[in-house]
Every structure is written in C-alpha cells, then in structure tokens.
Amino acid sequence: MDVLKYKITSIEKMAKDIKVFRMVPEGEALDYLPGHFVMLHALDKQGKDIVSRPYSLASSPNQEHLEFCIKMIGGKMTSILDKAKEGQIYGVSGPMGHFLYEKQENCTFVAGGTGIAPFISMLRYINEEGIKGNFTLFYSARERKTLLYQDELKELEKDERFKVVTTLTREEPKDWKGECGRIDEAMLVKYCGELKESQWFLCGPLKMTMNLRKYLIGEGVEESSIKFEGWG
C-alpha cells in the first residue's frame, strides 16, 4: 500500500490532552469515504517510517485537507505527535475499514470520547451533500471541558435533520442542560423512539459498543443495521 506524503498545516488543542491535526497533500491526495481510518506514519528526515498507528478521519471527503482528532496518551506515536510542528511531513496510507457511511437516510450515531471523530466526518459529509433524512448523534464525554467540536455541532443542530444528545459521565454541572450518565437503553429510547427504523453506528470504548449492540439486537434491530468500532 502506497504511503502518501502530507504536510501539517495546523495543530489545535481542542481539549485537555486532545489535539486536532490538519494536513494537506504533498502530491497525490487520499481518496476515502466517511468513516474510513488510515495509517498515519511518523517519518524520519530521510522519509523513512519510524512508527505508524491507525486513526479515524474527522474530515469530510469533500475537504481538501485530512483531519485527525487524537488523544495524547504518551504512546510511541502520540509522543511524536505531541511535539509535532506546522510544516512537518507525515505519511498516510489507506483508506481502511468497514465503518462507512454510504448515504443512508436515517441514522443514529453513538460516540464515546474521541470516538466522535468518524461521526464528524459523516455529519460534515451529510450536510455538504444535502442528504435528506433524520440523523441523531449521542455523544458521551467525561467532563464538559473534554467535549469536542461543540461549536460545530451546535451550528449543525440549527438544521432540523440533525439532533445532538450530549451526556457527561463524571460530573453534573449546575448549569448543564444536557444529559448526565452513560449512554444506556433508557436514553436511546427517550430520544429515538422506534429503534428498528434507524441504521446504527457505534464508536467508543469496546464495553460500551458491545453492550449497546447486544441491547439493540435484543430489541429487534437487524445485525446488518449495526456497525461498530471499539477499543480497550
């Protein structure tokens, strides 16, 4: 698989320990679909691979740049990324995966933490393409200060096609107007109604995604209508 060269154009610290990297191609550009992930390669001065790791794309295929939303966990790759500077060159290979949005009209997205990244790609694409339907995002974060893409999601909600349900699992601020607690069966029913009418996309900690998948299947949702990615 070819490794394409990409240059960092911006690095944004979006929340504690979470950075958003935007990169533009130095030559051939990657062709991908919303929900794909790629291998991101750190390169030495001679352009040789030092280390590579898989990351979901938060950018829409319609955008000229690639966008990655990555938690700095102190691993071999993130330790390099944490010191990255604008103008540096990284390698990108792919795309990979089956967690793809393919213009379905009624979808429910469930994100835990940085699992929101592929859904940002999907929602941007849906909005840009003017795809009709109903699209609900459940987004779980530990604390308000760790929430990602809040301004963009609030702007998206002005369109009646989109609904965003945000929940905090580690705090209950007095002025908080969202939900509190983990995304569970009661929360899904409260906002979704008939579960079987939706295509489901689950991305986050493995325990969360597997528990929700099991629940949905038990409620009669076809396995083919559920896509999931999990870690941990």
Same domain, 226 and 133: yes
Write out the H or E segment, with its range, that includes residue 192: helix 185-192
Kindly state whether residues 190 and 209 are assigned to the same domain.
Answer: yes
User: Which of 11, 71, 58 is closest to 32 using CA atoms?
Assistant: 58
Last residue of a domain, one of 57, 78, 96: 96
- Helix-then-strand count for the chain, H and E: 5, 12
Q: pLDDT tens string for the chain (232 positions)?
A: 799 999 999 999 999 899 999 999 999 999 999 999 999 999 998 999 999 999 999 999 999 999 999 999 999 999 999 999 999 999 999 999 999 999 999 999 999 999 999 999 999 999 999 999 999 999 999 999 999 999 999 999 999 999 999 999 999 999 999 999 999 999 999 999 889 999 999 999 999 999 999 999 999 999 999 999 988 7
**Final residue before a domain boundary, out of 96, 126, 160:** 96
The domain that holds 41 is classified in CATH as 2.40.30.10
From 53, 29, 55, 58, select the one nearest 42 (Cα to Cα).
53
Predicted local distance difference test score (pLDDT) of residue 1: 77
The strand ranges marked E within the chain are 4-15, 18-25, 37-43, 49-56, 66-71, 89-96, 106-112, 134-141, 162-168, 179-180, 199-205, 226-231
| 82 in a structural domain | yes
Claim to verify: residue 36 and residue 129 sit in the same structural domain: no
CA 134 to chain centre: 19
Domain limits for position 223: 106-231
Say what the pTM is: 0.96
Shared-domain flag, residues 110 and 223: yes
CATH number at residue 174: 3.40.50.80
**How far apart (Å, rounded) are the C-alpha atoms in residues 80 and 74?**
9
**Shared domain check, 157 and 47:** no
In a domain, 101, yes or no: no
| Tally of CB atoms within 10 A around 77 | 18
**Rg value, the chain, Cα:** 18
- Of the residues 63, 96, 129, the one at which a domain ends: 96
Q: How many residues does the chain have?
A: 232
| Domains held by the chain: number | 2
